Amino acid sequence: MEKKEKKAAVEKKDKKAAESKSSGITPKDMTICKATEQMLEKAKRDGVETAFDRAASMKACPIGADSACCKHCSMGPCRLNAKDPYSKVGVCGATIDTIQARNFARMVASGASAHTDHGMSMLDVFREVVHGKIKDYKIKDTVKLEQVARSVGIETEGRSVEDIAMDLYHELERTYTQVEGEIPFVSRVPEKTLETWRKLGIVPRGAMREIMEIMHRTHIGVDQHYENIVKQCSRTALSDGWGGSMVATEISDILFGTPTPVQADVNMGCLKEDYVNVIVHGHEPNMFESMLASVNDPALIEAAKEAGAKGINLVGMCCSGAEVLSRHGVPHAGNFMSTEAILVTGAVDAMAVDVQCIKQGLSSVAKCYNSYLFTTNPRCHIEGAEHIELVEDKPRECTDEVVVKAIARYKNRTAQVEIPNISNPGIHGFSHEYIQYMLGGSFRASYKPLNDNIINGRIRGIAGVVGCCNPRVKHDWVHVELVKELIKNDVLVLQTGCSQISLAKAGLLTPEAAHLAGDGLKEVCETVGCPPVLGLGSCVDNSRILIATSEVVKEGGLGESIADLPAAGAAPEWMSEKAISIGHYFVASGVYTIFGATFPITDNTKFKDLLFSGLEDQGLGTWDFAADPYEMAKKMLAHIDKRRKALGLDKSRERVLFDMAARREMAA
């Protein structure tokens, strides 16, 4: 981002904040989500405050936004001058580059910890399922179990499911605990990409070791060379993407099923006034799976009916919502910036949360509407919320109690109920396995048709558009505008997390949305019958995108490493440290990655140069920034075209019409 552009963006934000304090900003300015807007209007009438209001009235700290302060020791906190970054150093002598690199590294460490701790929890559940201690879940997808086992070199021929599973558990545990060597899933990385990592010394050992080392190195007086700190950022982020996150996805698929396309509704219209409404919001699918069992329990359904309800209605939010949407077609009520707004409906009888992206503000909004907010995970308690702990081998005790209390709340509902009458159907549940099948057919499941279509230019490139929503920008707007621009330009878009929900609400996860795509992409979508925007699930499911890119490289014809692909990634409205870890593992994997909203960096520094161009020179990907979605699309397309040119594909984008033979080949 140019200094001027960033300054203008900050000034605009500040102006917006000042205006809204004097009520300059209306809900219409805050979001393009009509349901959220309607609830923000109601919240205003009810005198209820949400994160949108707080963001509007709280000016972002400009020094923090530029990452120009250091508070890692009590000789400070030290503030440097972002306008003249080399005019000062911290008390210990730390330069702006060291300070920014340390701050960035700690964001990577925190984000990577969140994903790897989640992945490790899934692995704990898996181990106890295999041991027979946890009986509520079982290995549902044995085909995937064998595939994953083989991918890390475990023999599967003629062996029992339990034996394979136990071997897989031990192998994958190394992802976290190994002190020397390489994490198991490097076996999936294209050879040339892995070669680059080895050359740079950034192949992760185990996530615990990498995260511990990054925390050590960013302590006062340890690593004071930004280049060396960034190296450890890469190693740690890779232990998330190809480690913790990938294990979370693969184990969840093995336990709860690999998603296949399913039609489901998204948006607040999923709530039903005359049903007991239970929302699950969080990140770990096991609580959600048990809640699904609870709401289908005949005794609890009967209890709900006795309380005067027609039944129990379960809906998801955020990432575990996105997983259960993908696996079971459970409706999804909205993304991160709608979690307070949905409580304003008054129709939520209970919201059960586990970990990550749970706003503390939910507690006071829930109170205003007499809705229950339950925390369920020992890692996440919230003052003012009731805690009902989910014990992994007795999960129903927790989820049944949540439902029982929700029924009681339904019976005594006092809040006025207003449910936005909006729900958006779409197709969810794509996985890298399904993309292979969808394009190649069951006899020849392969990425070849995708590669061929990229080579012949019908598909210009692939983009991953992922990540959070952030009240500092117009909710959902940046996601939607960016994706529309990309598909219009024949870029196939893969999505996860809150971004996928933004686009689902905008109706782009339907095959009919193909009419918004450029001619080439439209032809492919119409032939295969798929949407131009494919939803792959939650944020840990970004690992599905990594595997897909790896498969595309291995299929051939598009270069030898992930860095060679005409592909780009974006998190247009990011806000969490997890997003920084994800962004950095995509960059370290070779992907051009652009963020919107803001970027924690000072312009005109060596650290910025390294992130925004130096890493690419080392054979990795690159970071970039643009607040405006059209500018972002332009930059992504420019990168895709640069890669096409390097591959000699810049001439192949003349229009190729499908003849019958080509259609038959694709549909086979």
List of residues contacting ligand NFS (CB under 6 A): 283, 318-319, 335-336, 356-357, 467-468, 497-498, 539, 576, 578-579
| Least distance (Å) between residue 574 CB and ligand NFS | 7
| Least distance (Å) between residue 469 CB and ligand NFS | 6
Task: Give yes or no for a contact between 559 and 565, defined as CB atoms under 8 angstroms apart.
Answer: yes
Task: Give yes or no for a contact between 240 and 207, defined as CB atoms under 8 angstroms apart.
Answer: yes
Terminal alpha carbon distance of the chain? 46
| Least distance (Å) between residue 153 CB and ligand NFS | 30
d(CA 635, CA 663): 33
Q: Which is nearer to ligand NFS, 559 or 572 (CB)?
A: 572
HSE toward the beta carbon, residue 272, CA cutoff 13 A: 13
Collapsing DSSP to helix, strand or coil, 316 comes out as strand
The two structure tokens encoding residue 341: 């707004």
Distances (CA, A) of 328 to 135, 403, 428, 498, 647: 20, 19, 10, 18, 40
DSSP string, 105-159: HHHHHHHHHHHHHHHHHHHHHHHHHHTTS--S-----HHHHHHHHHHTT---TT-
| Least distance (Å) between residue 114 CB and ligand NFS | 8
The two structure tokens encoding residue 378: 């020992």
| Least distance (Å) between residue 497 CB and ligand NFS | 3
Q: Which element (helix H / strand E) includes 362? A: helix 361-368
Residue 133: exposed, middle, or buried by beta-carbon count in 10 A (0-12, 13-18, 19+)? exposed
What are residue 424's DSSP bridge partners? 266
Q: Which is nearer to ligand NFS, 465 or 498 (CB)?
A: 498
Q: Which is nearer to ligand NFS, 531 or 537 (CB)?
A: 537
Q: Which is nearer to ligand NFS, 399 or 576 (CB)?
A: 576
Q: Which is nearer to ligand NFS, 453 or 598 (CB)?
A: 598
| Least distance (Å) between residue 265 CB and ligand NFS | 19
| Least distance (Å) between residue 90 CB and ligand NFS | 30
d(CA 582, CA 598): 16
Q: Which is nearer to ligand NFS, 35 or 450 (CB)?
A: 35
| Least distance (Å) between residue 280 CB and ligand NFS | 13
Spatial CA neighbour of 380 closest among 404, 399, 352:
352
| Least distance (Å) between residue 283 CB and ligand NFS | 6
Longest dimension (CA), the chain: 73
Q: What angle do CA 330, 333, 337 make, to 5 degrees?
A: 140
Q: Which is nearer to ligand NFS, 321 or 461 (CB)?
A: 321
d(CA 362, CA 451): 45
CB-nearest residue to ligand NFS: 468
Tokens 């700190």 sit on residue: 229
Q: Which element (helix H / strand E) includes 235? A: helix 226-239
| Least distance (Å) between residue 641 CB and ligand NFS | 28
Q: Which is nearer to ligand NFS, 335 or 451 (CB)?
A: 335
What are residue 31's DSSP bridge partners? 475
| Neighbour count for residue 181 (Cβ, 10 Å) | 12
Task: Give yes or no for a contact between 535 and 426, defined as CB atoms under 8 angstroms apart.
Answer: yes
Tokens 């012949």 sit on residue: 456
| Least distance (Å) between residue 548 CB and ligand NFS | 18
Q: Which is nearer to ligand NFS, 129 or 315 (CB)?
A: 315
Q: Which is nearer to ligand NFS, 403 or 498 (CB)?
A: 498
Q: Which is nearer to ligand NFS, 119 or 467 (CB)?
A: 467
